Amino acid sequence: MLRGRTWYVAARFLGQAAIEIPQDFQCFVEGALIRLQVQYPSLRFSASSHGVEVEELPPDRLDDLRKNVLHAIYREKIYSETLPLRHALIGAVTAR
C-alpha cells in the first residue's frame, strides 16, 4: 500500500465497444441512436448487425453507457408502439 503519493493514470480508450441488443429490439436501434447522440455528443455511435457500436469510449464508462443505450432503445420501442394510440386519442379529442 502506497501512502503520500498520488498516481495519475492516463485515460485509456477502448478502440470500439459493442453493446449487444436483443433481436426483438433491433428495429428500434436507429431511432434510439439520435437520442443517444444528443445525450453523448462526444461519442460516435453506429448500428451494427448485433447492436450498437461506440468509438473511443473510456472503459470506466462502458457500464453506464450500456444502461443508457438499452434505456434509449426501450424508450424508442414504447414511442413506436404507442404512436397509433396517441394519434387516435388526439383525433378523438379534437374531432368536432
Beta bridge partners of 18: 53
CATH of domain 14-94: 3.30.70
CA-based nearest residue to 59, from 25, 9, 21 = 9
Sequence ranges of the domains in the chain: 14-94
With a cut of 70, say whether residue 8 has pLDDT above it.
Answer: no
With a cut of 90, say whether residue 5 has pLDDT above it.
Answer: no
- Between 2 and 40, whose confidence is greater? 40
With a cut of 80, say whether residue 78 has pLDDT above it.
Answer: yes
Q: What are the pLDDT digits (tens) for 21-73?
A: 999 999 999 999 999 999 999 899 999 998 999 988 887 888 999 999 999 99
Dist CA 27 CA 43 (whole Å): 22
Which is it for the CA torsion 27, 31, 36, 41, positive or negative? positive
13 falls in which pLDDT band (50, 70, 90)?
Answer: low
User: What are the b/e assignments for 81-93, b being 16+ CB within 10 Å?
Assistant: eeeeeeeeeeeee
Residue type, 20: E
